[in-house]
């Protein structure tokens, strides 16, 4: 007879959270002064989003937020990560704030606090005001300064009640899916613009950290959420190692090196120097600005990334995890192939492998020594709802359990991981996939907007209650 293994516990104060983003859930896109963002424009452009879906109504959170917070409280969440819609707070991306827009977030945060849930505010989850895109978007330097101004407005309004802030969500997606492959808004496909966007997102992050420090109490916790790619070469072949190095450079280190080390790595500059003039793009003082210290690094993790050289990939099945486009989101690394880490995939076609999460957390811990938060992790599956809206989703429960176990392993290995925000609290608008892919632990009926916790939600509530995994 084998003894039962000890339950996996988590440190005292570990944040048990869930995450969402404004455009994916709020709806009410033309209410209270909000103007279009790049995602309104993109989703209304025929052919860009599956089934012509848009976030016009999304899941109606703007009007149902009290009900949603009550469900969070029922689950026992101790923290909730949401994003602030820039065009709701500062419609044109310039000038004063619109109080009605801020009032929504004041009310949301007050409701969270009343229920003992710590708010974690993300300032930018991809909804650039359309007017700023029309003026050039993230490839233009001015956008970084606009972002810092908007940050100051948000911090002034909410800084007395929100103590944890993340500047950008997944700037890799904003830069390389938005301006490289074009599968995300604004749908542009120029590798040079994608690299310029990456630098200006970095600069915007640094300027925003400065604005937050100036406006917030000294104990505010400032973060950024990066979707770092857990890069694995497919073999020890020199071509595969080189391919993996290039993806690591333009997928990960293009953000971590300037933000956490105050530099762009020489190999990245060499890989991409034929596309942009880095010495003109990066002004004196930019790297000092970008590397302003943060308090915690947010990691968004879904699956590992297995890489080979294109030459080594002939006749091998490939993984396409970022939507169909003939334009690469990997400038300077086009001669590279992506492979499935295994055949056990989610409804997104993303392989399930929690070791990528523990490996990445430990690597970040060893390289940067910063406190960490898992600001996103979760899975879409083909949920089947019963007549009462109930969903039995053991695959999602298993995914979440195995990834929480990976976090506990990383903690046991020394990583200072302070919390977990599963993606996502509720089914929602999954960008170019529209409403086809469901990531929520709460089912949303898109006709009635009725919410029903799935079995994974009941399981998560139980984990939170016990503060441990079986
Ligand atoms: O839905 C997205 C989220 O907005 C950003 N991170 C990945 C999620 C799943 O694709």
Q: Per-residue pLDDT for 183 more than 60?
A: yes
pLDDT digits (tens, 9 = 90+) for 382-401: 999 999 999 999 999 999 99
Q: Per-residue pLDDT for 1 more than 50?
A: no
- How many structural domains comprise the chain? 1
In sequence order, which residues have a C-beta less than 8 Å from that of residue 347 and are 6 or more positions away? 379, 380, 381, 382, 437, 438
DSSP for 130-153, written as a single string? HHHHHTT-TTSTHHHHHHHHHHHH
User: Which residue segment(s) compose the domain that 172 sits in?
Assistant: 15-228+342-469
- Whether 302 is in a domain gets the answer no
Does the beta carbon of 430 sit less than 6 angstroms from any atom of ligand 1? yes
For 127, 130, 428, 440, the CA distances from 42, given in Å and listed in that order, are 11, 10, 17, 23
Q: Which residue has the tokens 């469901």?
A: 438
Which of 33, 23, 24 lies closest to 103, judged by CA? 33
Please, are residues 255 and 171 in contact by the beta-carbon 8 Å criterion? yes
Count of alpha carbons within 13 Å of 163, Cβ hemisphere only?
8
Q: Per-residue pLDDT for 2 more than 50?
A: no
- Whether 262 is in a domain gets the answer no
> Confidence class of residue 82 from pLDDT cuts 50, 70 and 90?
very high
Which is the closest atom of ligand 1 to the Cα of 21? 4
Please, are residues 167 and 205 in contact by the beta-carbon 8 Å criterion? yes
Query: pLDDT > 90: what percent of the chain?
Result: 95
Output the domain CATH number for residue 462.
3.20.20.80
> Confidence class of residue 409 from pLDDT cuts 50, 70 and 90?
very high
Q: Per-residue pLDDT for 51 more than 90?
A: yes
- Whether 321 is in a domain gets the answer no
Query: pLDDT > 70: what percent of the chain?
Result: 98
Strand, coil or helix: what is 404? helix
Q: What is the pLDDT of residue 317?
A: 73
In whole angstroms, what is the distance from residue 461 CA to residue 205 CA?
A: 34
Q: Which residue has the tokens 């359990």?
A: 401
Q: Per-residue pLDDT for 148 more than 90?
A: yes
- Whether 163 is in a domain gets the answer yes
- Whether 260 is in a domain gets the answer no
pLDDT digits (tens, 9 = 90+) for 308-319: 999 999 877 777
How far is the centre of ligand 1, averaged over its atoms, from the C-alpha of 226 (Å)?
11
Mean pLDDT of the 151-168 span = 98
Q: Per-residue pLDDT for 323 more than 70?
A: no
- Whether 95 is in a domain gets the answer yes
How far is the centre of ligand 1, averaged over its atoms, from the C-alpha of 23 (Å)?
11
Does the beta carbon of 380 sit less than 6 angstroms from any atom of ligand 1? no
pLDDT digits (tens, 9 = 90+) for 185-225: 999 999 999 999 999 999 999 999 999 999 999 999 999 99
Average model confidence (pLDDT) for the chain? Answer: 96
Which of 217, 97, 87, 116 lies closest to 157, judged by CA? 97
Taking CB atoms within 8 Å and a gap of at least 24, the contacts of 109-116 are 109/158, 109/161, 109/162, 110/161, 111/65, 111/66, 111/69, 112/69, 112/72, 112/80, 113/161, 115/69, 115/70, 115/72, 115/73, 116/73, 116/78
Q: Which residue lies with its CA nearest to atom 2 of ligand 1?
A: 430
Phi, psi of 329 (to 5 degrees): -90, 15
In whole angstroms, what is the distance from residue 136 CA to residue 196 CA?
A: 11
Q: Per-residue pLDDT for 3 more than 60?
A: no
Q: What is the pLDDT of residue 320?
A: 66
- Whether 351 is in a domain gets the answer yes
pLDDT digits (tens, 9 = 90+) for 425-434: 999 999 999 9
Mean pLDDT of the 460-464 span = 98
Does the beta carbon of 300 sit less than 6 angstroms from any atom of ligand 1? yes
Which is the closest atom of ligand 1 to the Cα of 348? 10
- Whether 19 is in a domain gets the answer yes
Active site residues: 170, 376
How far is the centre of ligand 1, averaged over its atoms, from the C-alpha of 125 (Å)?
9
Q: Per-residue pLDDT for 352 more than 70?
A: yes
């Amino acid at each position: 007879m084998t003894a039962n293994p000890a339950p996996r516990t988590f440190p005292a104060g570990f944040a048990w959270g869930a995450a969402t983003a404004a455009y994916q859930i709020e709806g009410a896109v033309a209410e209270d002064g909000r103007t279009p963002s790049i995602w309104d424009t993109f989703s209304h452009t025929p052919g860009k989003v599956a089934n012509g879906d848009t976030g016009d109504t999304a899941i109606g959170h703007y009007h149902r937020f009290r009900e949603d917070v009550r469900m969070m409280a029922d689950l026992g969440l101790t923290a909730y990560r949401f994003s602030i819609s820039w065009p709701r707070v500062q419609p044109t991306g310039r000038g004063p704030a619109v109080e009605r827009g801020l009032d929504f977030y004041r009310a949301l945060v007050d409701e969270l606090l009343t229920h003992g849930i710590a708010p974690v505010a993300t300032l930018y989850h991809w909804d650039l005001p359309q007017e700023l895109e029309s003026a050039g978007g993230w490839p233009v330097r001015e956008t970084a300064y606009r972002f810092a101004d908007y940050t100051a407005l948000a911090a002034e309004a909410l800084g007395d009640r929100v103590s944890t802030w993340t500047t950008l969500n997944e700037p890799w997606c904003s830069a390389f899916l938005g301006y490289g492959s074009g599968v995300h808004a604004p749908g542009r496909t120029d590798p040079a613009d994608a690299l310029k966007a990456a630098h200006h997102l970095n600069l915007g992050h640094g300027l925003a950290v400065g604005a937050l420090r100036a406006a917030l109490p000294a104990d505010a916790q400032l973060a950024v959420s990066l979707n770092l790619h857990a890069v694995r070469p497919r073999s020890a072949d020199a071509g595969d190692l080189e391919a993996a190095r290039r993806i690591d450079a333009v997928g990960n280190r293009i953000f971590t090196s300037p933000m956490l080390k105050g530099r762009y790595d020489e190999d990245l500059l060499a890989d991409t120097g034929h596309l942009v003039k880095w010495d003109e793009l990066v002004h004196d003082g930019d790297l000092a600005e970008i590397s302003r210290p943060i308090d915690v690094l947010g990691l968004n993790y879904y699956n590992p990334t297995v890489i080979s050289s294109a030459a080594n990939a002939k006749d091998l099945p490939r993984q396409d995890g970022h939507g169909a486009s003939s334009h690469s989101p990997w400038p300077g690394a086009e001669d590279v192939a992506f492979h499935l880490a295994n055949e056990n995939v989610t409804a997104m076609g993303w392989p399930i492998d929690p070791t990528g999460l523990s490996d990445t957390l430990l690597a970040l811990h060893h390289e940067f020594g910063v406190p960490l938060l898992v600001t996103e992790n979760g899975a879409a599956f083909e949920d089947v709802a019963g007549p009462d809206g109930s969903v039995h989703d053991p695959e999602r429960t298993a995914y979440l359990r195995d990834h929480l176990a990976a976090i506990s392993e990383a903690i046991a290995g020394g990583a200072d991981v302070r919390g977990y925000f599963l993606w996502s609290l509720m089914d929602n608008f999954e960008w170019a996939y529209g409403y086809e892919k469901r990531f929520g632990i709460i089912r949303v009926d898109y006709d009635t907007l009725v919410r029903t916790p799935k079995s994974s939600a009941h399981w998560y509530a139980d984990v939170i209650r016990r503060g441990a995994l079986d």
